[in-house]
Structure 1
Amino acid sequence: MSQSAINSAALILNAIRHPVIMVDTDGRIVFANADAEDFFRSSASLLSRDPIERFVPFGSPLITLINQVRERRAPFNEYRVDISSPRLGTDRLVDLHASPIAEIPGAVVVMFQERSMADKIDRQMTHRGAARSVTGLAAMLAHEIKNPLSGIRGAAQLLETAVGDEDRALTRLIQDETDRIVSLVDRMEIFSDERPIDRHPVNIHVVLDHVKAIARNGFASRIKIVEDYDPSLPPVFANRDQLIQVFLNLVKNAAEALGNEPSGEITLSTAFRPGMRIAVPGTQDRISLPLEFCVHDNGPGVKEDIRPILFDPFISTKQNGSGLGLALVAKIVGEHGGVIECDSTGRGTTFRILMPTWREPRGGAERDYQEFTT
């Protein structure tokens, strides 16, 4: 094979947005594309120094799969393989696709397809179902609880004028607690709002700058906020006020996670990821979600047992939290056709939102939006 052909092959493999490696007959990684270097957290030259066993957990099915391909000289696939390790990180669930190379005896090419994103999207569908359950509960609570609470509060106000100073504190407590319950019910009523969203092309950087200004002048005044924006990003098809609500909630959570940590830092980032597409349940359509918006903090992270249910209603890591903030965030993102995920370790937490983009309409905004994203 000529050098130009080899160079062309390398360019093609580097363009594939999945880790791809070639293992020789001695088990060494003799080629790794750019994504494989990121995946294994090592350069191609470092990967080639040691057998692949050094880079995956002991007894990994990957080694068995490579040996099977060599013995039978045929391609094989292995699905949902956990290759988590201290080197590769946690939650590294992958699908493996391995094939022999006829021209190089004993050599095997392996492509890794990470399952974490697909699994998180599946959980996103569950979050939406949970939010719909809260919708019915919110509608019932608004009708059945708020009216009696008004009567209780009114009675407490009347009692306040007729009791002594010692008992007046109790009447104030009754009013404060009824106000707190009404506030909680009001927040839950948001879930029962099924009106169509008024959406327009929105510059996400204007939204993030607005959220950053609120944070710096309030709850995050002592925390460093870093921007890592892609200035060429196209608009997102969304409701500006709801996006502000989403990112304000995420930034506030990040600030509360950092507390008074002197080295605390929040990073707001945007990027274009053209390879992300998800299937629409019940149809043959696939929606492209190329816009990636992240809120990252370098706090202590979310407890491992909470992470899978973090977006469920009434789940909170705060002592007095209602557990509705992130559930509402998931609902808003879902109604905009996007997904949200959380990656958290002991070194920090990243909330990542993937959303569709916007194109100038040719005959109706909604129709063109669907044409562009499917």
Structure 2
Amino acid sequence: MKIVQAKKNNGSSFKFTTKKVALNNPLVLVFGNRYMLEDVNLYTEIKQMFPNGNIVFGSTSGEILGDSVTDNSIVLTAIEFEKSSYIVKSKNVKEFNNNELDLGSQLISEFPKKDLKHIYVVSEGSTVNGSALIAGIEKEKHISIGLSGGLCGDDDRFERTLTAYNESPKEGEIVAIGFYGKTLEITSANYGGWTGFGPERIITKSKGNILYELDGKPALDLYKKYLGEKANELPKSALLYPLSVKTDEDAEPIVRTILNIDETANTMILAGDVPEGSIVQLMMSTVDDIAEGANKAAIYASRNRKNKPELTLLVSCIGRKLVMDQRTEEEVEEVLDVIGSQSKIIGYYSYGEMAPFEGDNACKLHNQTMTLTLISE
């Protein structure tokens, strides 16, 4: 595997952070600030750098390259696979009338199944129901095929997110990368580090990812009551107090971030499904807990691997970044301590993360977690 990495700050050109070498048919991952991705010349600029590359874009709430976390930048990693291969497909939610379940099913059906090891998703993040998207993919793929990825971000603005495959970044795109190869080893895992507090409540009315009522009362009113003065900063302040959602007593709780609120309907729109009858509780975290969570995620992703990773894809949550603030890089350093310096790292801060729970093959949508996808040939 040959890997070339570069970074672009606002107002400057790309600067290579690794030795620049010629690559054959590289997969080019480009994660960056949404305003910078809106530059009409960006796609042409990258295409000139990698004329035979397949370019995947995703907007972020912060960029990760190596052991550093930056804002208002673009990070780029180009990968030439020497023993493996890849295929990229993309769909737009508008083509499916925002039916993410059908989109996911159609997307996975276009990948040849022979030697398919893993699907990595870079998805629109501001409007998509990530749970439904994953359910559509999981419905059609074999259990042995891995699935991970993330929902793109837009800092803490929640205005619009951009993605694309071999064209200028735009809204509504969902890009999937299929990795093939008999020697290819890909593992993924996630972990949070958040703790529940306050009373548990029952979801008495919801539809998909829209939450209407808790214990028969308007959910948004209750949530605002807990937030106090911070309710005036919604939806940004919700990133600091996500919801733990437990579908039944034996199920692993899933963390859900509030993407937006509807004052008129008195509802909350979350990144994934919140089924009726689920038990809900507010959550909070500390810097040390989040850093420890990143360490555990790296341990889980590394467990039972035969080879050390050559490439590490990180997707962490914007909520974690807001809590850690000036110490954000500590969670990336915790990951490095586990996976080793031999692996090249690229990633971004997101509106949602896709990965299986430890010991499970089925992918789930998470919020407020650190998610790793480790790749070696």
With normalisation by structure 2, the TM-score equals 0.23
Looking at secondary structure, tell me which structure has more strand per residue.
2
With normalisation by structure 1, the TM-score equals 0.23
Bigger relative CO (Cα 8 Å, ≥ 6 apart): 2
Larger-gyration structure (1/2): 1
